[in-house]
Amino acid sequence: MDGIIPLYKERGMTSNDCVFKCRKILKNKRVGHSGTLDPNVDGVLPICVGKATKVVNYLMDSGKVYFGEITLGMATTTEDLEGEIIAQQRLAKPVTAAAIDEAMQSLTGNLIQIPPMYSAIKVKGRRLYDYARAGESVERPRRKITVTYFKQARAATFDNEQGQQKIYFEVGCGKGTYVRTLAVDLGKKLGVPAVMSELTRLASGGFKISQAVKLADLSAAAVKGELEQYLFPADHALTKFPHHKLTEEQWRIVQNGGFLLPRYLQDEQRPFIVLMYAEKARAIYRFNQAEERYQPEQMIDLTEGEK
C-alpha cells in the first residue's frame, strides 16, 4: 500500500501516536507524518505510507493554514495554555479592531522568529524543551519563516470581569512557523501579554480539513477493505513541479538511475521535474546546469507498471 492519507489528528494525541496507530491499522511499518502538531492542537496531519514516505519533505515544504484563538492579558511558559502563567495584565478596555489588524499585518511576509523554549528543536544535541524542563537557559536559533497572511477570522470578544480579550484569527504560513510564538509576538506589538489559547490546522500539504479522516473511520475502512478511498497518490505532494511522461526508452534509463538530456524533455531546463510512467510519479530529477543534463534527485517508485 502506497499513498498519502489526510488524517484528522484529534486533540490529546501526539503526531507520533498517530503514526503508531496508522501502522497498526494499515499493517505497514513504512508510515510517516509530514509536520508535527502539538498534542493540544487538532487538524490536518498528512500521513505518508509505503513509497510515498519518500515525498514527506515535499509535503512539509507546502504551506499551512490555521484557525485559532489568542487571549490578550496573560502569558505562559509554553506560549499556550499548557504552561504556567508567567505574566498577567488586566486590560481596562478592548484593543480596537484597527489596532489588531495593523499589528497582524506587521507580522506578515518574510520574518525572523525565535522558537519557544518548549519546542522540539535541537541545540547542541538536546531538545529545547529538555533545557526548559531542567531550568537551563540556552541561546535559541533565529529562524527565517514566511507568513503569507495573518487576519482576524471574526470579531474579537472582551471579558470585562477578567479584563481579557480573545482574538480569533486565521493564518497562512510556511514551514517551520510556530503559531504560538506568532501569538506572543502579536501581544508584544499591542503592548500586552498574550497566549495562544486554541489552534486547529485547517490545511496542510494541499489537503483541507474537509478531506481529513479520523483514525476511527480509517480503522473501520480497513476492516471493510475500503482503505483505498482515503489514499492519495504520492504525486499529490509534487504538483508545484513540472511533469514529464516518460517513453518506454526513458523509463528504462530512469529505472537504472541514468541521466536524461534536455532534448528528451522538449529542451526544458527546469530546476526540478517529476517523471511519470504508467500514471505514477516515479522520480524527481534535478537539472545540472554545469553538465547540462537531468540527474536523479529523489527516486520514488521504480517498480514495473502497466503502460
How is the chain split into domains, by residue range?
3-62+205-234, 64-201, 241-299
Encoded amino acid at 192, one letter = V
CATH-assigned architecture of domain 3-62+205-234: 2-Layer Sandwich (3.30)
Residue 102 DSSP label: H
The catalytically annotated residue of 2, 38, 42, 185 is 38
pTM of the model: 0.89
For domain 64-201, give the CATH number. Answer: 3.30.2350.10
Query: What's the pLDDT at 200?
Result: 98
Q: pLDDT tens digits for the chain (307 residues)? A: 899 999 999 999 999 999 999 999 999 999 999 888 889 999 999 999 999 999 998 888 888 999 999 999 999 999 999 999 999 999 999 999 999 999 999 999 999 998 887 877 888 888 888 888 888 888 888 889 999 999 999 999 999 999 999 999 999 999 889 999 999 999 999 999 999 999 999 999 999 999 999 999 999 999 999 999 999 999 999 998 999 999 999 999 999 999 988 887 776 778 899 999 999 999 999 999 888 899 999 999 988 754 4
Q: Which of 277, 227, 284, 212 is nearest to 3 (CA)?
A: 227
38 catalytic residue (yes or no): yes
Query: What's the pLDDT at 62?
Result: 81
Cα–Cα separations (whole angstroms), residue 300 to 82, 187, 235, 249, 280: 40, 44, 10, 18, 9
H or E element in which residue 126 lies: strand 126-127
Residue 80 DSSP label: B
Q: Identical fold at 3-62+205-234 and 64-201?
A: yes
Cα–Cα separations (whole angstroms), residue 193 to 60, 69, 88, 187, 202: 31, 14, 7, 5, 26
Cα–Cα separations (whole angstroms), residue 176 to 111, 155, 166, 184, 205: 11, 28, 25, 16, 14
CATH number for 241-299 (one of 3.20.20.150, 3.40.50.12140, 2.30.130.10, 3.40.50.720): it is 2.30.130.10
Q: Which residues pair with 172 in a beta bridge?
A: 65, 149
Give the integer Cα–Cα distance in Å for 196 and 226. 38
Query: What's the pLDDT at 267?
Result: 60
Encoded amino acid at 123, one letter = V
Exposed (0-12), middle (13-18) or buried (19+): which is 12, by Cβ within 10 Å?
exposed
C-alpha cell at 63: 504551506
Query: Half-sphere exposure of residue 265, counting CA atoms within 13 Å on the CB side?
Result: 26
Give the integer Cα–Cα distance in Å for 265 and 243. 10
Give the integer Cα–Cα distance in Å for 155 and 97. 8
Query: What's the pLDDT at 307?
Result: 42
Q: In 87-202, which ranges are continuous DSSP H helix?
A: 97-106, 128-133, 179-190
Query: What's the pLDDT at 305?
Result: 58
